[in-house]
Amino acid sequence: MNQLDQLKQFTTVVADTGNFKQLAQYAPQDATTNPSLILKAVQQPDYAPLLADTVAAHRGRPHVDIVDEVLVRFGLEILKVVPGRVSTEVDARLSFDTAATLARARRLIGLYQASGVHRERVLIKIAATWEGIQAARELEREGIHCNLTLLFSFCQAVACGDAGVKLISPFVGRIYDWTKKQAGATWDEVARAGANDPGVQSVERIYTHYKHFGITTEVMGASFRNVGQIIALAGCDLLTISPELLATLQASDAPVVRRLDPAAAKAAALPPVHHDEAGFRYALNEDAMATEKLAEGIRAFAADAAKLDTLIRELQR
């Protein structure tokens, strides 16, 4: 078997793309999107008509409603290809507003349900700020499942587990990027590869904590820079992978062995960890990498959301 098929024996493979026409060849179970991926897709000739048609069909409605219609339209197309779930992201500009995040999430789910899609097939993506996590806690109580994204620190994962979040997306590649940049000339690429990669180690710690304490939140490694990071996390609940890296996995028949195992995690000796709001904020503040990358990620997603706003407004003229 190729590496992609081997990986699927241990881990649910998820496609990280808004390009739904690429999905079938990799047969992923789920798919994830974000504002940057949707923006990239709608600027391609294959997808520009979908954007234009959606905007035209809802002309005259409030701008924010049209944006949500566009996001859900992409999600609906993706769900025609994948048998599982799609993740659709709440506007990153709402990352520090619990009430607004709740309202947006409920509207997105309502649009999916109005199109005949059961809520079990949708994950609402929310930034893993304290406010976002509290919104997810309430949404999960309502039966609206969430994917907490922009997750870089153990304290974010702990808070998500305590909130009963369905799934988290710890960002492997961005942790790797930050650590490599900080190391500068002292960085040893070979020594810090695979199981020694800082992003891989972060996900492994979270996975071990969840499985040890029986926390049911799913762990989905995300934001990969190379195949080595993916292979080092074989056995993680899910891994969301770009089409480029899916193609690389599919082209190789090198062996893949399971590295993350729930039985081993259960046997580990770990102290329980919980955070109230003050404890969470302090722990996040103590993690310079997570503080910086969370803020940077929100800014980047917000900027791409604004660019998508501009494209939609131009089509409304």
Cα separation of 151 and 240, whole Å? 14
Helix (H) or strand (E) holding 89: strand 86-89
Residue found under tokens 């590496």: 3
CB 260 within 8 A of CB 234: yes
**Consecutive H or E run containing 114:** helix 98-114
Burial environment of residue 45 by CB neighbours within 10 A (0 to 12, 13 to 18, 19 or more)? exposed
In whole angstroms, give the CA distance from residue 160 to residue 137: 8
DSSP for 30-66 reads: EEE--HHHHHHHHTSTTTHHHHHHHHHHTTTS-HHHH
Nearest to 124 by CA among 142, 104, 141, 98: 104
Q: In this structure, what are the phi and psi dihedrals at residue 167, rounded to the nearest 5 degrees? A: -155, 145
Q: Which residues are catalytic?
A: 125
Contact 166, 140 (CB under 8 A): yes
